[in-house]
Amino acid sequence: MIKPDAMRNGHAGAIIDRFIKEGFRIVALKQTKLSQEKAGEFYAVHKERPFYGELVEFMSSGVIIAAILEKENAVTAFRELIGATNPAQAAEGTIRKLYATSVGENAVHGSDSDENAKIEGSFFFSGLEQF
């Protein structure tokens, strides 16, 4: 996902360009907006965390771009490309270092396992929307 902060700050094009240049194939891509309910569902795993309310509020505050990306070892490669959750700790040149403003408003989300990538992909896209 490209999060509402990166969308508002005009970074979506540069971020998608980076995905392509780093060798990810776009399987599916769309702009959408999460309701509070859908944002809460997407991040249900973080329900007990103190930042959950803030996270749901922020993720439903504006449009996002959802995508399914394919590459060899995609989960690891994508996490390297986006950098640490907290942009202050993200390596130079990573997407979060370049475009995120805080740990909460951190520009992009990436799945943390192949299993969750499948779940999160089908959260946004039907089989007919994946190529």
Residues that bind ligand CMP (CB under 6 A): 46, 51, 54-55, 85, 103-104, 106, 109
The CA distance from 24 to 18, in Å, is 9
Cβ 106 to ligand CMP shortest distance, Å = 5
Cβ 127 to ligand CMP shortest distance, Å = 25
**28 or 107: whose CB is closer to ligand CMP?**
107
**25 or 46: whose CB is closer to ligand CMP?**
46
Cβ 128 to ligand CMP shortest distance, Å = 26
CB-based contacts of 19, cutoff 8 Å, min separation 6: 26, 67, 69, 81
CB 44 within 8 A of CB 97: no
Q: Which residues are catalytic?
A: 109
Cβ 131 to ligand CMP shortest distance, Å = 25
**28 or 87: whose CB is closer to ligand CMP?**
87
**62 or 104: whose CB is closer to ligand CMP?**
104
CB 91 within 8 A of CB 99: no
> What count of other Cβ atoms lies within 10 Å of the Cβ of residue 120?
19
Q: Which residues pair with 32 in a beta bridge?
A: 64
The CA distance from 73 to 93, in Å, is 20
